[in-house]
Structure 1
Amino acid sequence: MYKVQGYLRDCLDSLLNQQFRDIEVIAVDDRSPDHSGAIIDEYEAADPRVTAVHLPVNGGLGPARNAGLKLATGEYVWFVDSDDWIAPESLTAIAERLAATAPDVLVVDYARAYWDNRIVRNSAAAQLQGAPEVFRIDEFPQLLQVFPCAWTKIVRRENLLRWNLEFPPGYYEDLPFTYPLLCAADRITILDQVVVYYRQRRHGSILRTNGEKHLVMLDQYQLTFERLAALGDRATPILPVVYGRMVDHLLVLLGGSPRLGSDHPANSLRRRFFAGAARLCRAHEPAGWTPPPELGHPVRYRLLKQGSWARFSGPRLALRALRMARGKVRGLRRRGGRLKYRLKRSLLYRYYRVQCKLPVDENLAVYEIYWGAGYGCHNRAIYEKARELAPNVRGIWLVKPEAVATMPPGVEYAVNGSAAYYRVLARARYLFNNVNFPVSTPKRPGSVHIQTHHGTPLKAMGIDTQNSPILAAQNNFAELLRKCDRWDYAISSSPYCSVVWEHAYPISVTTLEYGSPRNDVLTTAPADSAARLRAELGIGADEKVVLYAPTFREYRKPGDPLIDHRELADALGPNSRLLVRGHHLDRGGDGTDADGRVIDVSDRGDIQDLYPIADVLLTDYSSAMFDFLVLDRPVVVFAPDWELYRTLRGAYFDLMAEAPGLVARTSEELLTALRTGAYASPELDAARRRFRAVFCPYDDGHATERVVRKVFHGEDPDPFGPAAPLSGVLPRPLVPAPAVD
């Protein structure tokens, strides 16, 4: 495993939670820089079938598999990729097939699993049909037309060792493993059903990279033919098929694949690949071989084998010129239509486009939260620390017109939709947001987008909400990911958050696991600041304060409270106050009552300013519970609709089983707990501190400084000590039950 923390649990759970249990799982950490290593240690501690291996240096997929093979003791070996997962009860089907046929190699099928929940079966699945129950590869050569991957092959271990089929380093390591493996086997059988769900990651796949590393494909094919030659006469019948597969593969990369960079004929990397491919073809073409009809490009093959780059690339150069000419003609035809369209565009948008053509302002940062809701959250802390540590950078907030009145004196802002708004949005070097900027905002070269998020997630976020019956219909997830693709940095407050964000937002981004900037104030605020706010709200120094901060529910009418606020205040008894903080999407409700026992603080700036005056936090599924942990004060969770919320919104762990404090499932339970003070006990204190160790491991009051120094000055913080293990509070994004197309 390498950089798979967002998917690793899906993989391990899919293997370990099956009815068939006679397996060992050797999990190899290929020096992964994320929390993958900690996750496998956790599984090793919890399940004796798991062995965690940590390699001293990163060596790539091939060497990592070899390291695992050396420790394997099972009768059969299966190399499973750590970002894929296995179909339910497939291990039983595999075990039954192995017992019935005693093969050297069992081949299973797979389906591609996309981020949008599409599951599409292997396009070559038909090649698996019609095979004898047990066969040699020369008796069923059409199997070689299937994608040559190791993770669809379950192999008898003693044979694998006898054949000495180790994986080579570098990309395309499956090629010199799979073809000789199938050739050497005396007994092959097929389980013609989807067993592996092959995750199609939007980022991280070698098929979406480019550069010189793809030259290793030539070496891997050379090794493939050397290993086949070592097998002697038994390889002879399949050489033409393997050779044809190689030719097709080489021509795919030479046919404009971005893996070799620009497809311009002058590209030196493409020319080097072509020269090596030509040598391969001339060295290994079987006697009498002719391109089969399904190859589709016999002329290009002959030009490749001749080795003349000029002849091979000439037609492509002509085609490029023709395409450019056609593009100019189409541009002339559209010019009139474009002019008409431009005249219809708003003056402000044209102004924005003009501003985008001007240089990026290296000393300009813009800040926004909740689509212009005002001044607060992590961005407030970052803005204030940047004024101290990066005073040369001008900070401007983007706010809605109705939020202007809430902006503090001296804080510069631009109203959304104004000329100033479009100007700073177009010109800023640094762009901070805890949601997303509009999809029409381009990612300008030289700009830096920082996603700060808005709290530790219990509820499903990002594409994980595709399984929500409410949110799935309300969101355009493709558009969401296009917005997220602009992120350069994403702030994470804990290892837990890092794992969840990676799963919820499958993008290429640098995670800054530095702690929670908005929580710094909870450890650094002056000792008398809470007293001043109490006095401002008319709360006595000796009065007990309970802060009630419920989350937003998509399935409830806004402003409809779950419980009567006055009842809560009465349950607290005399000499107490109830502060009610509505979610920013669900403001409105009972308001402040006449005698001041219930105080509505929904519009009083940042909730972080209210935490220090609260003796107890009453919440439900809000991220407030994680932030409040920093103060190490009692938390009460009111969860009358947990099952409904979890079903409709989704959750990453079972809050009822792992809560940071007392859980009340009914109004009666809640009122009783408030009357009796049952929310405070040594057992609940211990649970709260365990939670804090997991969710707030870096909240030492310096998270904001770490972010500012990294983003504005490029400084990396000193390494943190190890965080608390994630066991007990496990982010487990649910894998949907696949429906194969």
Structure 2
Amino acid sequence: MQPRLSVIVHGRNVQGRIGACLDALTAQASEAFEVVVAAVGASAQEVAAGRPGVTVVPLPEGADDGAARVAGAERAAGRWLHFVHSKDTVPTGAPRTVADRTAELPDGVDVLVVDHVRSTWRHQGMPSPDGRILARQGRRDLPLADTPDLLKVTPLLGNRVLRAGFWRAHRADLAVSDERFAAHAALLDAERVAALDHIALNVTELRAQSLPTGPPERRYEVIDRHEALLALAMDRGAGPAPLAALYDIMLGDCLRVVARERLPDPVRREFFHRAARAAVAWRPEGHQHPGGLEGVRRRLLEEDAYTKYRTFQTLNRRRREARAALASRKHKVGLKVRDLRYRRELDRPVDPDLAVFTAYWDRGVACNPAAIAAKAAELAPHIRPVWVVSAANVPLLPPGADHVVPGTRRYWEVLARAKYLVNNVNFPNAVVKRPDAVHVQTHHGTPLKRMGLDQLDYPAAAKGLNFHSLLERVDKWDYSVSANGHSTRMWERAYPSRYTSLDHGYPRNDVFHSATAADIRAIRDRLGVAPGKRAVLYAPTHRDYEAAWTPRLDLATLADRLGEDTVLLVRGHYFYGGAASPLAGLRRSGRVVDVSSYDPVEDLCLAADALITDYSSIMFDYANLDRPIVVYADDWETYATTRGVYFDLMAEAPGHVARTQDELTELFTSGAWRDDTSAGAREVFRRRFCEYDDGRAAERVVRRVFLGESEASLPPVTPLDQRTPAPTPEEAL
């Protein structure tokens, strides 16, 4: 059967990256697409050889990217072609999504434009600026004259998927080594263009210092490329809107070269003169320059006024520096006024009944602080709670909740006068620790990954962290709440100071022992999970070495394999966009539910029959329910190496471990996810990490901190064997 899509990986093995590209593709093999590798040089061919289902086209070392694309396309059998450079990768699920979308496109559509993310040596998965353009086009397929903004999409051939017949008809334009020319030419040559607001490419931007440099005069090629594109647009009868868009792109690119690139002044001056000639020669009739500074730059370019332009550039830089200095002075004055008011409030007596609560960097009423505040209202009603909440999250507060917004006058007043300050992260550095105030650090998870000072040896985790300031904040703590002995030891190691550890359990986990069958039925009803359906919560964690979310599972395929009786509750931030996504139908049918913004997360745990996670601390909380947990650890070695961990999760997991999606699927389809081996591992895990979580943690914290009761008088921790977790969804029926 002819595949709908051919993914053509082309080029040499740049910095040894082709292996990662092929690993990502072969791990998601499907009848919907094939993989063809046009490998340049022995190194790339050696990596590609022997991979199942991969067609390898060997090319000599000197072959350029254009020749590689031609060779790969000649061997491709797909109706559509997706060219992926060997240094880049394809996200999980993307080939199937693209193949499904191309299958829906009518005849006459030649190009499908997709979204991408960028990765550098420092950050992974940074979003592109193209999503809003693609989303605006939506499901329509249009001639370029009706959608000229697509010319503003990042010029990569890898974010244009081409109909095979279209490629053959316009190979002369598309097979050139200059990828930027080919990317624009694809749109100019196309009869109609469609868009897919979905990430189908992860572009690796190589460090400039690692790439060979050519003579500075090669920058003249930027002008040559744009003039060739404008000539092509006129030859194709593209119309006024695409011509205007290409003209604006040319001017923008040329001015960026002049302003930002390090060129010898004679080369920069000559580049400016050539760009000026092109600007005049190709200016569309009636074209209007934008207003403001950009308009001034473009007019100076058209006038070929290089000296004026450089003077303007210098004056503008000085103007920016002056504005920045003025803003800095105003900021410093504002800080002085704030400090004066704050210091004045600090001279007033502490209010013994005032408590300030906040969670997750002022997100709202959540986590351990919320559970403590609720129990304090019951056991210590004299305490007046005030929540610190960001302005954006104020509308989400429970009705009647007293709150302050960070930076306001009352914010500093309550921070200065409160007896109790409760947080699951840290208060700002400017907050003064008064001798008679009590700071409670509740934390918000059990540490698998390295924390605090233990991050010193892990740059990916520690980026931007000032350890001296961190320790100053830690020194303000009076109490540190812990869920288990492991946490207590790790907190004392990572945050060394004189605080008292409260080995009382996590207050937020009390609900896992107090929730009733009626509560669980109500939660599932709110989530749209029908009675009798199996709900699986998928809750992966963030990677510090990734700047944005990177999908690790093909949820459409997973949902298909698990069957119609399973609902996937997905707590991530990568839902495939657009109605063309293979998840769209699954979402409409309720088989996949996006719970990324659902709070509280404890409700999701109560609603789920099982948990799939990777390295998230949610596994420690969920274990209190004594329900199956499956760890999906496709990048454990990378995570452990870059983030640092306190123990080997692969050897001490709370259930089965899957290293690939096929293994994960097999665990559920075979029933092994809840077998005796899983239960045995979970039992060992619970004894270690659910040590103090017996349903009375909040009570112990409130009695100890707010009521001043002695440690010996607090309710003792109920042994694990004597606890009764909340009923499972099956029991709740």
Give the TM-score taking structure 1 as reference length: 0.50
Correspondence for 1:623: 617
**Alpha-carbon separation, structure 2, partners of 1:508 and 1:411:** 33
- Structure 2 matches for 1:8-407, cutoff 5 A? 345=335, 347-407=337-397
Q: 1:598 aligns with which of 586, 589, 592?
A: 592
Instruction: Give the equivalent residue in structure 2 for 1:539.
Output: 529
Report what 1:669 is aligned to.
663
Contact 1:571 1:672 in 2 (8 A): no
Q: Which structure 1 residue ranges, 4+ long, deviate > 3 Å from structure 2?
A: 339-350, 586-592, 717-724
Cα distance change, pair 656–420 in 1 and its aligned pair in 2 (3 A): same
| Equivalent position of 1:445 in the other structure | 435
Letter matched to residue 568 of structure 1:
L
Q: Contact conserved, 2:529 with 2:590, CA < 8 A, in 1?
A: no
Alpha-carbon spacing, 1:723–1:599, altered in 2? closer, same or farther (3 Å): same
The question of 1:433 aligning with 2:451 is answered no
Give CA-to-partner distance per residue, 1:388-427, whole Å, 9 cap, x none.
Answer: 1110010011111121122122322111222222111111
Per the alignment, do residues 655 and 536 of structure 1 end up closer, same or farther by CA in structure 2, a change over 3 Å counting? same
User: CA separation of 1:405/1:568 partners in 2, compared to 1, >3 Å: closer, same or farther?
Assistant: farther
Matched, 1:694 2:688: yes
Greater CA drift, 586-595 or 626-635: 586-595
1:279-330 CA distance string (max 9 Å, x none): xxxxxxxxxxxxxxxxxxxxxxxxxxxxxxxxxxxxxxxxxxxxxxxxxxxx
| Deviation digits for residues 22-45 of structure 1 (CA, Å, limit 9, x no counterpart) | xxxxxxxxxxxxxxxxxxxxxxxx
Q: Distance in 2 between matches of 1:675 and 1:503?
A: 42
CA 1:350–1:559 in structure 2 vs 1: closer, same or farther (change >3 Å)? Answer: same
Partner residue of 2:68?
none
User: Per the alignment, do residues 568 and 396 of structure 1 end up closer, same or farther by CA in structure 2, a change over 3 Å counting?
Assistant: farther
Cα distance in 2 between the residues matched to 1:342 and 1:662: 55
Partner Cα distance (2:717, 2:407) in 1 = 45
1:616 Cα offset (Å) = 0.3
Q: Any idea what the Cα deviations from partners look like across 1:494-530, whole Å, max 9, x if unmatched? A: 1111111111111111000011111000101232011
Deviation of the 1:474 alpha carbon: 2.2
Tell me the SS of whatever aligns to 1:652: coil
Unmatched 5+ stretches in structure 2 = 1-328, 578-582, 721-733
Q: State the Cα distance separating 1:539 from its structure 2 match.
A: 1.3
1:719 CA drift (Å): 7.6
Residue in 1 that maps onto 2:310: none
Matched, 1:478 2:472: no
Give the distance between the partners of 2:525 and 2:462, measured in 1 at CA: 45
User: In 1, Cα distance between the equivalents of 2:347 and 2:611?
Assistant: 49
Cα deviation, residue 718, structure 1: 4.4
Contact 1:378 1:517 in 2 (8 A): yes
- Quick check: 2:509–2:602 contact (8 Å CA) kept in 1? yes
- 1:10 corresponds to: none
Residues of 2 paired with 1:528 and 1:656: CA distance? 36
- Output the aligned Cα RMSD: 2.2
**Does the 8 Å CA contact 1:558/1:588 hold for their aligned counterparts?**
no
Give the 3-state SS of the residue equivalent to 2:673 in structure 1.
coil
Find the counterpart in structure 2 of residue 734 from structure 1. Answer: none
Q: Does 1:424 align with 2:414?
A: yes
Deviation for aligned residue 1:488: 0.2
1:706 match: 700
**Counterpart Cα distance in 1 of 2:576 and 2:538:** 13
The code of the aligned residue for 1:683 comes to: T
1:678 to 2:668 alignment: no
Contact 1:360 1:447 in 2 (8 A): yes
- 1:490 alignment partner AA: S
Cα shift readout 1:92-149 (whole Å, capped 9, x = no counterpart): xxxxxxxxxxxxxxxxxxxxxxxxxxxxxxxxxxxxxxxxxxxxxxxxxxxxxxxxxx
User: 478, 489, 492: which is aligned to 2:479?
Assistant: 489
SS at match of 1:610: helix
CA distance in 2, matches of 1:639, 1:402: 35
Question: Against the structure 1 CA distance between its residues 359 and 673, is the aligned structure 2 distance closer, same or farther, given a 3 Å change threshold?
Answer: same
Q: Deviations along 1:569-619, whole A, 9 cap, x unmatched?
A: 22321122111113xxx6766697332211111211111121111000010
Q: Write the deviation string for residues 346-371 of structure 1: whole angstroms up to 9, x where unpaired.
A: 64443323222211111010111111
Distance 1:342 1:537, change over 3 A: closer
**Distance change >3 Å, CA 606–CA 645, structure 1 → 2:** same
Deviation string 1:248-270 (CA, Å, 9 cap, x unpaired) is xxxxxxxxxxxxxxxxxxxxxxx
Q: Given the superposition, is the C-alpha separation of residues 369 and 355 from structure 1 closer, same or farther in structure 2, using an over 3 Å criterion?
A: same
Residue 511 (structure 1) aligned with residue 501 (structure 2): yes
Local SS of the residue matching 2:426: coil
Q: Distance in 2 between matches of 1:411 and 1:371?
A: 18
Q: CA deviation at 1:559?
A: 2.8
Q: Indicate how the Cα distance of structure 1 residues 422 and 567 shifts in structure 2: closer, same or farther if over 3 A, else same.
A: farther
Q: 1:408 aligns with which of 393, 398, 407?
A: 398
TM-score (norm 2): 0.50
Q: Distance in 1 between matches of 2:340 and 2:543?
A: 39
Tell me by how many angstroms 1:471 deviates.
Answer: 2.6
Distance 1:467 1:723, change over 3 A: farther
Question: Using the alignment, how far apart are the partners of 2:636 and 2:666 within structure 1?
Answer: 19
**Equivalence for 1:169:** none
Contact 1:579–1:598 (Cα < 8 Å) also in 2: yes
Q: 2:361 is matched by which residue type in structure 1?
A: W
- Cα 1:427–1:594 change in 2 (3 A) is same
Q: Distance in 2 between the 1:563 and 1:610 partners?
A: 20
Q: Is the 8 A contact 1:559 1:588 kept in 2?
A: no
Mapped to 1, the partners of 2:701 and 2:347 lie a distance apart of 29
- What displacement does 1:660 show? 0.4
Secondary structure, aligned partner of 1:520: helix
Once the two structures are superposed, what CA deviation does each residue of 1:199-233 show, in whole Å capped at 9, x if it has no partner?
xxxxxxxxxxxxxxxxxxxxxxxxxxxxxxxxxxx
Check whether the contact 2:534–2:565 (CA below 8 A) recurs between aligned residues.
yes
- The one of 634, 638, 644 equivalent to 1:640 is 634
SS at match of 2:480: strand
Query: How many matched pairs?
Result: 383
> 562, 565, 576: which one pairs with 1:575?
565
Q: Is the 8 A contact 2:420 2:438 kept in 1?
A: yes
SS of residue paired to 2:672:
coil
Contact 1:568 1:578 in 2 (8 A): no
Deviation, structure 1 residue 489: 0.3
Pick closer, same or farther for the CA change 1:344–1:545 going to 2, 3 Å: closer
Kept in 1: contact 2:350–2:419 (CA 8 A): yes
Separation of aligned partners in 1, 2:516 and 2:415 = 35
Distance apart, 1:722 and its partner CA: 10
3-state DSSP class of the match of 1:404?
helix
Distance in 1, matches of 2:523 and 2:715, equals: 36
